[in-house]
Amino acid sequence: MRAAACIAFVCALSLHLFNPPTLVSASSLDRRDGIPSAAADAENIVPGKYIIELDSPAAGSKHKRSLTPHQDFYDELARRGISVETGIEFNDPNLFVGLEVSVGNSADLDVILSMQRVVAIRQVLMMAIPPLVKYQPVNGVNDPALPPDTQSTHVMTGVDKLHAQGNFGQGIQIGIIDSGIDYLNPSLGGGIGSNFLVKGGYDFVGDAYTGGNTPVPDDDPMDTHRGAQFSVESRACYGHGTHVAGIIAAQPGNIYNITGVAYKSSIYAYRVLGCTGTAQDPVVVEALLRAYRDGNDVITLSLSSGSGWSTSTTGVVASRIAKKGRVVTASLTNDGQMGAWNTPAPASGDDVIAVGSVENSVLPSINVTLSDGHAPIPYFSLRAFPVSGSLPVYATSTDVTITNDACNPLPANTPNLAGYLVVIRRGGCSVATKFANAAAKGAKYFFLYNDGSALGIISSGGYIAVLIRAEDGVYLVNSFASGANVKVTFSPSTAPGFTEIPGGGLISTYSGMGPTYDLRIKPAVVAPGGNILSTIPRAFGGWGVSSGTSMATPFVAGSAALYLSARGKGDKTARSVKKALQNTAMMVPASTADGAPYVSVAQQGAGLINVYNAIHARTVVSTSELLLNDTAYGNNVQIITLSNPTKKSVTYTVSHTPGLTISTINSATKLPYTSPLPTSSQAASVSILSQKFTVWPGFFNGFILSIQPPAGVDPKTFPIYSGFVTISSSLGETFSIPYLGVAAKMKDMAILDRTAQSFGIQLPALLDSAGKVPKPNQTFSLIGNDYPAILYRRAAGTPSFLADLVMPNTQVPGVTPAAKKRGLFWNWLNGIFGNNNGRITVPSGSFFNVPTVGPVQSFPYKPRHIVASDEGNGYDWVRVTSFLNRTAIPNGTYRLLIRSLKVTGNRNVEEDYDAWLSPVFTIGTPSNSTTTTSTSTPLSTSTSASTSSSTSTPVSSTSSSTVSV
């Protein structure tokens, strides 16, 4: 049977409605609201669930061909007396063979790992879907009569030129792994099957899937909206997959004259998301393998799960598919404001094209007229303001520089605003607060004028409100202040047009930021993702505007289809897509000002794609990115070759274009910087040998360059330096190669958050299950909710997280044995359970050369935490309720030792762990036979791994006994 627990894969899209939405109720976990309860599960893993990868005949297995890998594995389990609950089986010998299992006794994992068939074990992860950026359904309007293919996003990326040449992605098959597709939308072909745009697909989860129940697959990948369940909370029900599909393949002839990037491609839909926007990790792997098996040339996933590493199952499988000659695109997060080191899976996969977002250059808008003869003013919306006639203007403040307009209740002498168009300046508080304060005085209609923030279609919070440009708001406010009594006239039948906006083509503020912890450049490229008009389910109007990396990702998938359609299908061509898009991408500046510096490669990758240039480039550049590593493992000297396949000699000129250096870690708190990250113009020192040279027809030549970290930057801030090696040719071509390095040693990066910023108490913290600070040496019965727990946050990702119960006088050398068996995660599992046929002894002997009682928790490859108010990835707990194998902890006095391996750290070196030792606590029956009540006693001072712990005498009644489990 399929396992019920799930990993929530992030739909990298945000949702707001012009209609009144159901507001999301989220518990804030910052210090103002106190410490969370340990009963709230904040771990991003599914306890007891794993994906086991098996050896396969195609991989050179020496096992009998008469047995399938799975049957061989099951027989071996039976011989060893091990019982597991099995879920999805994976059986693609060329990509991934394995299965999903639930293991009741964690000690059995060591036995499983000893089996010859087992290659690796990876944990199944869980994560909550993040808040959405923007979404506005449209009821439908008159045809704005736009000429064909003047879409701003197509013009920005060269798609319009390819369409003019007749390239619409013909002959290319694209698989969309998402929430399904409303294929009955006329703009998506109106049906499913061989005669339609959507040729087929599969629903892996079923219409009632919540992410926590058992999937019920079927053959119909319809993007089911489930009617009344639609709300901001039911984030996948609004048609995420349908919007993605329209960006790729919306058909011409619709009322907006919008077409997809590759609208003559063939589409296959693979539904993995239900109305909760969550999916099991194994379900997504299953969809990836099916999409590959169905022959899709391009596979796109606007889904993500917290990672920071390239080792998750989805990242590994997606990367293998890309190596096999299929293009795989995947979205970054919408957490750009949370800083660097935040690459999710599967985008973190080595060969996956990770995609970030830039803003659209235009916004849908509708004009209003003014009674004083001033030029019409546009407001940003696809839906006409529901007012017929004119309204007088009322400004809540006549100060056009005010930073908190209407953030407080309006003055008592404010008139009844029911008959006015109320004009309020953006900023200082939420728009909901502004509108509520004005509504308290009767206001019904609102113009919110911009304060310099990015323009877009705003969430109205149930009010009739739209955003207008700053200069238009200033004009209305000044007219009101002068007593001009200007009236604004609306026409509900007015069709929307498009207004150019400043900031088009710049990086979206929400776009996630890399790199990975192994210093891979992520994103690879960026594409238009802000304020994108595309298809949505018919139930919501058929068309809507959305923003997010979810929108940028299918744009790149469609662009890849154009490339394959022009260059021809095939493994070699498919593997060249990423390089071609990167080499011909356009560098993105930090602003629209003349001479503005370019943003970090950690934010833009190679830059904004230009698929026309990618297809028509003749020179072949040997590489598309330069990974310089950190200062401990510098890779600073590079050799680049240029091949000239033309019939005439070509002269090349090489130069250097620096990007901004960004500081990623606060040197005082050792926590990641959040937006805006500190930047510096101090650039890498680049020396180029052979800056200008000629390559004969059919030959290649190259150049050597040295890229050294910038001087004068503080390594304690872990500065990311980056830029571009730019190449121009006598053919008129321009190429660039992004580079990225860290001007510090990654091993020096602190893993554990040791501040009090998040909850008002020093972390890590020993608490009780209710989130209260216990008394010194408090006794816990481990009955019900009476147990100790460690609240902690990770400031950086770690390859290995360990939590062990130790005696109160323990010394902490922090040495971990080396791995002795193949497999990605064998080392941490074998370290936990030893090599004793699945049995451990406690507490005698030693564990990692540290006298311990037993392991309580262990995870490989954990990401950094981001926001403390996000239960899914803001903090974690170590709950001391039993040993890792679920056996009882003997009565006694203990500490808990937490160790996190540093990035690039050696598991055998004590100093390579960021370690923390808890205050003393006692396990046992309290003297009064009742649960001890927690108090507000201050936390005890923790001891680092390199310092001896308390010398108090152990009081465990079983301190010298041996317990086999």
d(CA 633, CA 636): 9
Highest mean pLDDT out of 231-245, 458-472, 781-795, 843-857: 781-795
pLDDT at 381 over 70: yes
Report the Cα 545 to chain-centroid distance in Å.
Answer: 21
Q: Is 240 a catalytic residue?
A: yes
Segment 432-455, tens digit of pLDDT: 999 999 999 999 999 999 998 778
For 924: left if phi > 0, alpha if psi spans -120 to 50, otherwise beta; the answer is left
Say which of 240, 243, 656, 865 is annotated catalytic. 240
What 3 state SS string does 289-317 have? HHHHHCCCCEEEECEEECCCCCCCHHHHH
Q: Which two tokens stand for residue 159?
A: 């798609």
In angstroms, the CA 110 to CA 742 distance is 37
pLDDT of 365 higher than 50: yes
Asked if residue 132 lies in contact with residue 314, where contact means CB atoms within 8 angstroms, the answer is no
Give the lowest-confidence range in 620-624, 915-919, 939-943: 939-943
The two tokens of residue 569 are: 């299908």
To the nearest 5 percent, what fractions of the chain are helix, strand and coil?
15, 30, 55
Chain-centre distance of CA 277, in angstroms?
14
Whether 178 is a known active-site residue: answer yes
Residue ranges per domain, the chain? 1-16+132-151+166-310+323-344+354-361+501-572+584-590, 363-494, 618-748, 750-965
Tokens of 434: 């502004």
CA proximity to 921, closest of 959, 956, 958: 956
Sheet holding 298-301, edge to edge: 198-203, 266-271, 173-178, 298-301, 327-331, 353-359, 525-530
Catalytic-role residue among 187, 550, 559, 858: 550
Is 673 a residue whose pLDDT tops 90?
yes
d(CA 394, CA 516): 50
Q: Where is 702: in which H helix or E strand? A: strand 700-708
What average pLDDT does range 326-354 have in this prediction?
94
Measure the CA–CA gap between 151 and 260, rounded to whole angstroms: 10
Residue from 55, 178, 405, 914 carrying the catalytic annotation: 178
Cis status of the peptide bond prior to 764, with omega within 30 of 0 = yes
Residue 729: pLDDT above 50? yes
The tokens for 567 are 């260059």
Instruction: Transcribe 597-625 into DSSP letters.
Output: PBPPHHHHTT-B--HHHHHH--SEES-S-
Mean pLDDT of 900-912: 90
Token code pair at residue 692: 């200008």
CATH class, 1-16+132-151+166-310+323-344+354-361+501-572+584-590 region: alpha beta
3-state secondary structure at position 447: strand
Kind and range of the H or E element at 75?
helix 69-80
In this predicted structure, what is the pLDDT of residue 456?
A: 79
306: which 2 tokens? 């917290």
At residue 135, the pLDDT reads 53
CA–CA dist 81, 101 (Å, integer): 16
Average pLDDT score over residue span 242-269: 96
Residue 211 phi, psi (nearest 5): 95, -20
Lowest mean pLDDT of 121-130, 265-274, 382-391, 572-581, name the range. Answer: 121-130
Fold equal for 363-494 and 618-748: no
Q: Name 102's bridge partners.
A: 49, 85
* pLDDT score of 671: 95
pLDDT at 227: 47
Q: Helix 549-567 to helix 240-249 angle, to the nearest 10 degrees? A: 30
CB 580 within 8 A of CB 733: no
766-790 burial: b if 16+ Cβ within 10 Å, else e: bbbbebbbbeeebbbbbeebbbbbb
pLDDT confidence of residue 173: 99
Element (H, E) at 281: helix 281-293
Residue 52 β-bridge partners: 99, 121
- pLDDT one-digit tens code per residue, 254-265: 988 899 999 999
* pLDDT tens digits for range 466-493: 999 999 999 999 999 999 999 999 987 7
| Whole-angstrom distance, CA of residue 867 vs CA of residue 872 | 9
Q: Do 289 and 257 contact (CB within 8 A), yes or no?
A: no
Residue 855 has pLDDT above 50, yes or no: yes
CA dist 921 and 938 (Å) reads 14
Asked whether residue 772 carries a pLDDT value surpassing 50, the answer given is yes
Specify whether the CB–CB gap between 288 and 181 falls below 8 A. no
Which tokens in the block code for residue 760? 């008002």
pLDDT exceeds 60 at position 935: no
Name the average pLDDT for the chain.
83
pLDDT at 37 over 70: no
For residue 414, give the DSSP letter. Answer: P
Q: Assess if CATH 3.40.50.720 describes domain 363-494.
A: no
Is 865 in the active site?
no
Task: Give the pLDDT of residue 94.
Answer: 93
At residue 165 the predicted structure's pLDDT band, cuts being 50, 70 and 90, is very high
Q: Which of 271, 217, 207 is nearest to 244 (CA)?
A: 271
Residue type, 658: P
| Per-residue confidence (pLDDT) for residue 832, from 0 to 100 | 32
Kindly give the pairing relationship between strand 852-862 and strand 134-138: unpaired
pLDDT of residue 110: 76
Could you give the 3-state DSSP secondary structure of residue 178?
A: strand
Q: Please determine, for residue 938, whether its predicted confidence score (pLDDT) is greater than 60.
A: no
The pLDDT value given to residue 764: 95
| Rounded Cα–Cα distance for residues 802 and 788 (Å) | 17
Q: What is the residue type of 669?
A: T
| Domain 618-748, second-level architecture | Sandwich (2.60)
For residue 347, which of 396, 407, 301, 286 has the smallest C-alpha distance? Answer: 301
| Summary count for the chain: helices (H), strands (E) | 14, 47
Q: What is the pLDDT of residues 942-959, one digit of tens each?
A: 333 333 333 333 333 332
CA distance 537 to 535: 7
Percent of the chain with pLDDT strictly greater than 90: 63
pLDDT above 70 for 642: yes
Question: Using CB atoms within 10 A of its CB, is residue 44 exposed (0-12), middle (13-18) or buried (19+)?
Answer: buried
Is omega for the bond preceding 523 within 30 degrees of 0, making it cis?
yes
d(CA 843, CA 864): 32
Q: In the numeric block, which tokens belong to residue 850?
A: 């540290």
